[in-house]
Structure 1
Amino acid sequence: MLAYVLITTKSGYENQIATSLLEFSQVDNIHVLFGEFDIICRIKTNSEIELRKFILNKLRKIEGVEFTKTLIVAD
């Protein structure tokens, strides 16, 4: 399963969170952004359940993460 996650962070946490995300094997690619969202990362998992667990139990628990929006790739 492939998904993109848009992340809003507390001000000043962008690079710290990006570095933390790179430690997870599920995170395939990451970019710090300008605009409405601060980070976009591409996540690869074996199932929707694994994706959900990763986002809820790991990604959203990182200090400084305020909001996430997940876009699941259709093909």
Structure 2
Amino acid sequence: MEIAYVLVKSEMAHEMDVMSELLKIDQIKEAKGTFGMYDIFVKIEANSSLEIAEIITKQIRKINHVLSTITLSVIPEQNKK
């Protein structure tokens, strides 16, 4: 299982619309509003890094009112309990 965190910047006053659409994606396990440069903090769990890349490029970035994303990949060796 691969995990990545994505910081999402949305158009002003559309944060809740974007968050609602994000939470419709099965691999998105959490989406939380944040203060600062980015508006939403997203946790993705997928089978591979390729699947994560496709979710970001083909789904998240195509949501209306999403302006930009930054992806934070988890170091696999540190992803153990």
Is the shorter-chain TM-score for this pair beyond 0.5, marking a shared fold?
yes
Matched pairs, number:
75
SS at match of 1:71: strand
Structure 1 position 46 matched with structure 2 position 47: yes
Q: Distance in 2 between matches of 1:22 and 1:8?
A: 16
The TM-score, its normalising length taken from structure 2, stands at 0.90
Amino acid at match of 2:3: L
RMSD of the alignment, in Å?
A: 0.6
Give the Cα separation in 2 of the matches to 1:53 and 1:20.
16
Question: What 5-or-longer segments of structure 2 have no aligned partner?
Answer: none
User: Can you give the 5+ residue segments of structure 1 that lack an aligned partner in the other structure?
Assistant: none
The equivalences for 1:64-75 within 5 A come to 64-74=65-75, 75=78
Q: Which amino acid aligns with 1:22?
A: L
Q: State the Cα distance separating 1:43 from its structure 2 match.
A: 0.3
* Aligned partner letter, 1:7: V
Counterpart secondary structure, 1:18: helix
Runs ≥4 residues deviating over 6 A: none
**Sequence identity, in percent?**
33
